[in-house]
């Protein structure tokens, strides 16, 4: 009897697991992932070496690794479809530094069909001390959805790791909490410029996709 009981429990557990997986998959299909444009990270070099020499002391390859890590972390979160806006950013924004243009990157994000924009800064304080700042905006409204920063110790070889830790342990949890408490959209309309559906009551609330069309009716 004991063996039979364990067999039944195992079968029920497996069935429940398959059902849960199917429900999660159905929800994922019903609500497409928002698109986020992850822009190239920028550098603020405040180190003594940079001040004395009058020029940056960081290799461009280090910043490239930081940007790629940010895009990888957002992709691996399975919450976003990541867009690389490298070529569009310089066309759309008249500002050489996105961190100083007060959200001008959102237009570039919209041009690429993104729902959100992400910009980031590595602020180098010394050769072994740096900060990472990440800011995410709603591309439709310009509203700041998340702005997180953290201080790390280490050389520029570790910058990419610092960015990954900040995104995984601070940025994504903040966004997840906002999603849980986000108000339901009562009235939505199509933005004539971007062509995307936007919530107008309450402004900025997430918009559910329309139900699938029934071809039999």
């001390």: which residue's tokens? 129
Instruction: State pLDDT tens for residues 89-143.
Output: 445 554 578 888 889 999 999 999 999 999 999 999 988 899 999 999 999 999 9
pLDDT at 198: 75
Residues in the chain: 217
Task: List 150's β-bridge partners, or say none.
Answer: 132
Residues 6+ apart with CB under 8 A from 48: 126
- CA-nearest of 149, 159, 145, 197 to 62 is 159
- CA-nearest of 85, 75, 86 to 33 is 75
Grade residue 24 by pLDDT with cuts at 50, 70 and 90: very low
pTM of the model: 0.69
pLDDT at 29: 46
For residues 98-116, b (16+ Cβ closer than 10 Å) or e, as one string?
A: bbeeebbbbbbbbbbebbb
- What average pLDDT does this structure show over 73-96? 77
pLDDT at 187: 77
Q: Which residue has the higher pLDDT, 213 or 188?
A: 188
Grade residue 16 by pLDDT with cuts at 50, 70 and 90: very low
Task: List 153's β-bridge partners, or say none.
Answer: 129
Grade residue 77 by pLDDT with cuts at 50, 70 and 90: very high
Grade residue 87 by pLDDT with cuts at 50, 70 and 90: low
Residue 7 scores a pLDDT above 90: no
DSSP notation for 89-153: HHHH-S-S-GGGSSSTHHHHHHHTT-SEEEEEEEEEEETTEEEEEEEEEETTT--EEEEEEEEEE
Task: Give the containing element (helix H, strand E) for 180.
Answer: helix 172-181
Distance CA 175, CA 170 (A): 9
pLDDT at 216: 53
Instruction: State pLDDT tens for residues 33-60.
Output: 899 999 999 999 888 776 666 656 667 8
CA 180-181-183 angle, to 5 degrees, is 115
**DSSP one-letter code for 62:** H
Instruction: State pLDDT tens for residues 154-191.
Output: 988 999 999 999 999 999 999 998 877 766 676 777 87
């Amino acid at each position: 009897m004991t063996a039979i009981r364990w067999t039944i429990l195992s079968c029920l557990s497996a069935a429940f697991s398959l059902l849960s997986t199917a429900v999660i998959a159905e929800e994922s299909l019903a609500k497409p992932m928002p698109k986020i444009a992850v822009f190239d990270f920028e550098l603020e070099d405040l180190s003594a070496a940079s001040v004395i020499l009058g020029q940056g002391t960081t290799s461009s390859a280090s910043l490239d690794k930081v940007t790629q890590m940010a895009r990888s972390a957002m992709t691996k979160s399975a919450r976003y479809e990541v867009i690389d806006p490298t070529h569009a950013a310089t066309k759309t924004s008249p500002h050489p530094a996105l961190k100083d243009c007060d959200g001008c990157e959102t237009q570039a994000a919209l041009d690429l069909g993104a729902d959100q924009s992400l910009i980031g800064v590595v602020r180098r304080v010394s050769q072994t001390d740096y900060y990472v700042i990440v800011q995410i905006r709603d591309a439709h409204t310009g509203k700041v959805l998340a702005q997180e920063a953290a201080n790390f110790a280490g050389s520029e070889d570790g910058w990419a790791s610092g960015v990954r830790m900040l995104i995984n342990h601070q940025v994504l949890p903040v966004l997840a909490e906002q999603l849980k408490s986000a108000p339901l959209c009562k009235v939505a309309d199509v933005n004539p410029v971007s062509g995307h559906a936007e919530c107008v009551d309450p402004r900025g609330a997430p918009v559910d996709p329309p139900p699938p069309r029934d071809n039999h009716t």
